[in-house]
Amino acid sequence: MERECQEALLDTPSLPRYTFTIMKKIALTGIKPTGELHIGNYFGAIKPALALAETYDARCFIADYHALNQVKNADQLRGSIAHVAAGWLAAGLDPEKILFYRQSAIPEVFELSTQLMAFTPKGMMNRAHAYKAAVQDNLERGADPDAGINMGLFTYPVLMAADIILFDADIVPVGKDQTQHIEMAQALAQTVNHNYGAEVLKVPQAAVVESVAVVPGLDGRKMSKSYGNTIPLFCGEKQLRSLIMRIVTNSQTVEEPKDPEKSQIFLLYKLFASKDEQDALAARYRAGGMGWGDAKAELFRAANRVLAPLREKYEHLMADRPALDAILARGAERARPIAAATVRRFRAAAGID
């Protein structure tokens, strides 16, 4: 966000006063509306992204056009968009501090994407991880290499580059396995700038998140929709208790001492409990005399204490869809002038202004 400050040099009326602008660097986060948010998303992605607003001009968008590659049912996509929007707002996104909008509400995204296509080598798209993985899967099944692969998937990195470059992002927080998309956006911005001999587009940088919380799922593996081991972020109290009671444990008896750091129950508990609470429960683990049912009950109490207020906010937001849509519409109104400025720079440089 911009802050305009006025500063007097010494406290002397005869000296001039200066106005200067301090700009925060821009951080951009994209959210694809596919599937139900779970607590792994909350601790691994949502909280870290929202924390950026303390030091960056944070911008978040719902990547609904990206979701079309997977979701072909209109009602399902509408529901997913609302779910993700309400979920991030309930989790603490302040639309007055963070620019929050839908990708599909910004037509400049698609204009810039088309412009970038003219500078995108096909070989670059051939090397994109998602496309290569889809081709490899087809080959392993003995199918045609391009079976089921649409151009949305093939050109996915270009649309993502447009998302990033359009809003002058300085950094894009990503995991180690997602840096390729940022590298492609960098390459495209640099190619455009080199071609026109000017800094037409800002070159983004990947902010690799080294310490993303790895949240264990019900079966002990990383919590993931693909494993079917998630705990939905906004599930009801009864379902939350039921899911926690299903967490897989070993065969240690009640009397045996247990190592808390080797228990996924305790690792989940640490996400919700205070340091004093963690120390107290860890001592009970090590002392023996506590069964897995007791440990799960402690986890439920701590988790429900944190999640209940989020659940209440989420349900309130989902009950008033026009108000939810209005929040995203206001975000788009604020976002479009920024996007338009980037497109104007490209048009002027290219000679089509």
Rounded to 10 degrees, what is the CA torsion of 150, 151, 152, 157? 130
Domain ranges of the chain: 2-215+321-350, 225-315
Q: Is 243 within 8 Å of 217 (Cβ atoms)?
A: no
Question: For the chain, which ranges sit under pLDDT 50?
Answer: 1-21
Give burial (CB, 10 Å; 0-12/13-18/19+) of 144. Answer: exposed
pLDDT tens digit string along 38-94? 999 999 889 989 998 899 999 999 999 999 999 999 999 999 999 999 999 999 999
Q: Which CATH class is domain 2-215+321-350?
A: alpha beta
The reported pLDDT for the residue numbered 226 is: 87
The reported pLDDT for the residue numbered 103 is: 97
Answer whether 2-215+321-350 and 225-315 agree in fold. no
Q: Which CATH class is domain 225-315?
A: mainly alpha
The reported pLDDT for the residue numbered 212 is: 58
